[in-house]
Structures are given as structure tokens and as C-alpha cells.
Amino acid sequence: MEAKIVLEAIGKCELPINYNYLVQSMIYALLRKNSDFSRFVHDQGFSKGLTRIYKLFTFSQLIGQYQIVQDKIVFLHTIVLQIRSIDQALILQIVNSLLEDKEVELAGQRLVVRDVQVSLVALEESDYQIRMLSPVIARSTDKESGMTTFYRPDEKEFSSRLIRNFQNKYKAYYGVESDSSFSIQPLHSNSFRKVVTKYKNFIMTAWSGDYLISGKPEVLDFLYQVGLGEKNSMGFGMFRIIKKEK
């Protein structure tokens, strides 16, 4: 399920270039109306016996007319944010909070809620061309050295890491192993772009662009709802369909 939220700044909305943490904090604030549910999402999440916990929601980059002023991004008028999750209760809680309060706070700035649209889309095909709404992360961390390696979309390990991440999230939600997989590759040799961003004190290397993704419809639909790759709840891995492959 997805919520598409249209916000309007009172004047201008000025944010740091690396604003993911601020948007994530705003989302958690919207969930706090239901304290038990908020506590589950923030502190527990989904694990089903896994050591890692998954939130299983993702969100887009902010969309709107903006200017870059030194180290700030200044949104001039309306701002669009898309939030998606396989957990419909999470989306409905966010929507209810928005409709009740009619405004939100982002980085200490008041934004008026102009529109909220809820959609429930199910992917039913086996091949799609997709475009990242927030960049995707594929990485590994060496246990001994603690060094993290981020993989490019044209490296074999890129798809391997995304598949492993999908399998973990699938088990975290359903409690069973998935017997299916998927494939992903850049749509063209120059269809992806490196995005380096900072989340709190961590530097993340991610990739935007267009890709071809193939697999069983139920696998692709799961990925559509929860996001591709790592750090989805920090604003990474959300994609939209740009074309169905025949």
C-alpha cells in the first residue's frame, strides 16, 4: 500500500542536502498517535527469528521545485512524498494522522497537508522496467575489519546482495524461506547514477536510475511494497514502474 502526500510550506522549506533522517523522523512522528504500533515499528519491526530487524517500509526522495543554496536544499512551493509498505496498517496510521492534524513538522518547519492519496497496487507481470524513486544500496561488511564495500549495478555482487536481502526480508515477514528469486540489471550501460549521501554520521553510496527486473509476480510485488536493497526505512530502495516488458 502506498500513500502519496502533497505538502505545502509556509513560505519556503529549507533542509540540509542529506535530509533522509529528518523525513524518517517525521514519519515516526506520524506513527506516534498509536503508541503501541509506533513502538513496534520503531523498536521491534519484523524479524521472525532473524538476528536483523526489518521495518518493511520505504519512502521516496522529496519531489518539488527547489534551489540549492550553499549546503541547503530549499523547496519553494509544494513537496510530494511517497511512502510504501507491505504492512497496510502502517500506511493507514500515517494517513489518519495526516488527515487529523492537517499539518506536519519537518526540521522544525510547519508544512500544510494539501492532499493525501492512498493506492493499493499489485504487480502481476514477470518483467518490468523500473526507475528508482530513492537510490538503492547493495553492500557487504567484513566482520573482521569492519570495512564496508558498496557495489555498483554493473557488478555481479550487486544483484547477489539484493537477492540475499530480499530473502531475509521475506523470511522476516512471512516466517518461511522463499523458494524464488529474481534478477535485476541496469536498463542501459549509462542508466544508473552514483548517489553519495550521509545518514547521521554514516556515508552511504547508493544508485539511482533505470533497471530491468524479472521474477515471479509475487516476488516483484513484495519488492515493490518493501523496497530494494538495504536501509529502506531510511529512504532507500523505493522504485516505480516505468514500463511492462512483453
Active site amino acids: 28, 42
What is the phi/psi pair of residue 148, to 5°? -105, 135
In the numeric block, the cell 526489518 is attached to 54
Output the CA angle 182-127-154, nearest 5 degrees.
60
Are 236 and 134 in contact by the 8 Å Cβ rule? The answer is yes
Q: What 3-state class would DSSP assign to 225?
A: helix
Instruction: Give the strand pairing for 202-215 and 192-199.
Output: antiparallel
Q: How far apart are CA 229 and CA 108, in angstroms?
A: 30
In the chain, the N- to C-terminal Cα span, in Å, equals: 25
Which are the contacts of 40, defined by CB distance < 8 A and separation ≥ 6?
A: none
Q: How far apart are CA 96 and CA 102, in angstroms?
A: 10
